[in-house]
Structure 1
Amino acid sequence: MDLAFKVSGRIARPVEEVFEAVADPAKLSAYFTTGGAVGRPETGATVQWEFADFPGAFPVEIVEVQPNRRIVLRWEASEGPPQDGEATAGAAYMTTVIFAFEPLEDGRTLVSIEESGWRETPGGLRAAFGNCQGWSQMLAALKVWVEHGINLREGFYV
């Protein structure tokens, strides 16, 4: 079983505007990385994302950037501590996240986010489900922020 998922949503703005809302660290910090984002994603770079609900900066390795088309990144999987009866967690490892931006004929943008690479363990399964929830929330926050200037995450977690 491959622990992977894909979530998608349509945003009523042109692809260039939607891509910039993810690529520009100031814009990303306005609705998603509530603790701030540092660095613009460029192929081969490492940027940092921080979230108020998960304190501490997360290094994000940028694998590939195709402006207005896709961003591929890798970051450390976070399985959390083992639960009752589980073996201790193994060495740290990375998952891969792919953002795809597709312009639609009606002027909207289809954004898809895929993540894969978790270990096939109970902790990996919990982490995959948790990140699926997080990326779904990110898409909702992106849509509302880009279309209406509202930050859905403000005060949501802390």
Structure 2
Amino acid sequence: MAVELKFRVAARIARPVHEVFEAVADPAKLSCYFTTGGAQGRLETGATVTWDFHDYPGAFPVYVNEVVPDERIVLEWQATEGESPNVEGGEMAEADYRTTVTMTFKALDDGPTLVEIAEEGWRETPGALQSSYGNCQGWSQMLAALKAWLEYGINLREGMYK
């Protein structure tokens, strides 16, 4: 039986939906709490932007497929695979395909915003499974960092990765 590799993480952020959306779409704001090496380019339909992380070698492109302001962002980025026989030391290596990330933003009746992030599109290989676990961890950290930054002005990732 085949298993589709995908996941979804979610968090409630105690801020209005527009403020939460802008904290993701605006590269200056995203760089304050998530992209530890900086983000270049606003998330807009059809754009290719660049994200850089201190814990990942080099900046990489992010392809923006769709943006509906205050509702949804759909992007693609290069898939990685790791822990496979052709990759030494368990390191991740770029694969020849992309995964799709869908972020949704929903204003809740009691004031906060529900942010959901789903990623899918990995091949059904042990290396892709390992990569999906890493990305699930990364997006969970992103939501925690977003919440801490917007609600309390704290950058959780500062000093975490060098």
What TM-score, normalized by structure 1, do the two folds share?
A: 0.94
| Equivalent position of 2:106 in the other structure | 102
User: Is residue 77 from structure 1 mapped to residue 79 from structure 2 by the alignment?
Assistant: yes
| Equivalent position of 1:56 in the other structure | 58
> Aligned-pair RMSD on alpha carbons?
1.8
| Equivalent position of 1:20 in the other structure | 22
Shift >6 Å, 4+ stretches: none
Amino acid at match of 2:21: F
How many angstroms does 1:92 deviate by?
Answer: 1.1
Q: Deviation per CA, 1:101-150: give whole Å up to 9, x if none.
A: 00001110000000000010000000000000000000000000010110
* Contact persistence 2:81–2:95 (CA under 8 A): no
Tell me how far apart the structure 2 counterparts of residues 56 and 90 of structure 1 sit (CA, whole Å).
13
Unaligned runs of 5+ in 1: none
| Equivalent position of 2:158 in the other structure | 154
| Equivalent position of 1:67 in the other structure | 69
What TM-score, normalized by structure 2, do the two folds share?
A: 0.92
SS of structure 2 residue aligned to 1:78: strand
Q: How many residue pairs are counted as aligned between the two chains?
A: 156
Tell me how far apart the structure 1 counterparts of residues 47 and 94 of structure 2 sit (CA, whole Å).
27
